[in-house]
Amino acid sequence: MSDYQILQKERTVLDYDTVALDDRNHALVIIDQTKLPNQIEMLSLTRQEDIREAIYLLKVRGAPAIGVAAAIGVYLAARQIAASCQDYDSFYKAYHEAGNYLNEARPTAVNLSWAIRRMEQIVLQRKNEPVNRIVLALHDEAIAIRDEDIRVCEAIGRNGLALVKPGDGLLTHCNAGQLATVRYGTATAPMYLGHKSGYHFRIFCDETRPLLQGARLTSFELSSAGMDVTVLCDNMVSAAMREGKIQAVFVGCDRVAANGDTANKIGTSMVALAARRYGVPFYVCAPTSTIDMSIETGDGIKIEQRKPEEVTTMWYKEPMVPRTGVKVFNPAFDVTDADLITGIVTEYGVVHAPYKAAFRDIFSRKEGGQI
C-alpha cells in the first residue's frame, strides 16, 4: 500500500500537495475532491483510463492542478510504453496518442493542453536519444511543472496581497485554492499569505452550484487554515456587496483570451457584474500558463457542457428537478468580459487593460529571459 493511500486523521488536506508523483509506486496521487469535505481519501492512480476519468469526474480539478496531473499522467504513460518499445518512432506515436487521450478529458482549462504540449516538446527535442533517457527527462519535466506551480502561486499571493488591506472582506467563487493547484491556490494565495501576516481578512465563499466547489472545498480549506469564512449561496452575492461586506473579489481562471476576456467557473461573470455595480474591485488571478494568446476574445473559448444530472440530482438523494419534460442548461464555465476586470494578477505582477499589450510585454520579457 502506498504511503499516500491513507491520511492520518489528525492531518488536513493542507498538509499534502493536491497532486503528487509517487515515484516508489509509479503513480499519480491525488485527493479525491468529490468526497470532500466529508471524507479525505487519497487515490493512487497508474492507469491512463483512471487518470482521465479522475480529471473528467473532478476528482482532481482546477486548471493548474489538472495541468500538473496531466504532466505526471503522460510521464507515467511514457514509462509504460517504454517498457515494451525502444524504437523512437513507435514510442512517439503511442506517447502522442496517450497525450491526446488525456487532453480530451476537459476542454476549457488551457493548462491541460499546455502541460501536455510542454511535455511533448521534451520528446520531440530528444529524438536522437534512447527512449529510456527521454522517459527520465519527462519525469524531470513533470516535476519542474509541479514545482513551478508552487512558485507561481506564491508570487500571485504576494502580488495580490498588495491590492488589499488588513480587515478587508474578500469574496471568491468556486475553488481556485490549494485544492485547484499544488499548494496555496491562485485566488486564495493572497488570503493564505495575508492570514500568515495577521491581516484578519473576512473571507466569503460562494457555494458555486451545481458542484459546490465553494461550499465544499474553498470554505473547507480556508477554515481548516484558521481563517474567518462565511459561505454564501450564489444568489446572495449582490446583497453582501450592497451591505458593504466585500472590499475585493479574487477569482481564478481556466483560460484567459488575448484581450483579457476570462473563462472561469459558471457564475463568475455574475459576480463581476455585481462588483461593477457596487464599485468593488474584481481581480482575476492568472498564472501565465492560463493565458492563451492564440485566442483573441472570450468568444473563441470552448465552454464545457456537463451532464444534466449534476443539476438535477448531484449531491442530493432524490432528484431536485422533475426527471421528465424539463431541460437542463449546464455549462461548467462562463466568460467574464475584460472590461469588468479591474486587474489580472499574474506571477509577474498585476496587469491592467489593454490586456493584449500587457500580456505581450510579459511573454516577450519571459522569452528574453528578463523575468
Active site residues: 254
Task: Give me 153's grid cell.
Answer: 502561486
Give the nearest residue (CB) to ligand MRU: 252
Query: Would you say 26 or 308 has its CB closer to ligand MRU?
Result: 308
Binding site for ligand MRU (CB under 6 A): 58, 61-64, 109, 174, 176, 180-181, 185-186, 213, 252-254, 264-265, 332
Q: How far apart are CA 208 and CA 137, in angstroms?
A: 39
- Quickly count: other Cβ atoms within 10 Å of residue 300's Cβ: 14
Task: Give all strands of the β-sheet with 262-265 in edge-to-edge order.
Answer: 291-292, 255-257, 262-265, 333-336
Q: How far apart are CA 148 and CA 136, in angstroms?
A: 18
Beta strand extents in the chain (DSSP E only): 19-22, 27-31, 42-45, 169-172, 202-206, 228-232, 248-251, 255-257, 262-265, 282-285, 291-292, 333-336, 343-346, 349-351
- For residue 254, the minimal CB distance to ligand MRU (Å) is 5
Task: Give me 319's grid cell.
Answer: 432528484
- For residue 180, the minimal CB distance to ligand MRU (Å) is 3
Query: Would you say 174 or 335 has its CB closer to ligand MRU?
Result: 174
For residue 84, the 8-state DSSP code is T
- For residue 153, the minimal CB distance to ligand MRU (Å) is 8
For residue 335, the 8-state DSSP code is E
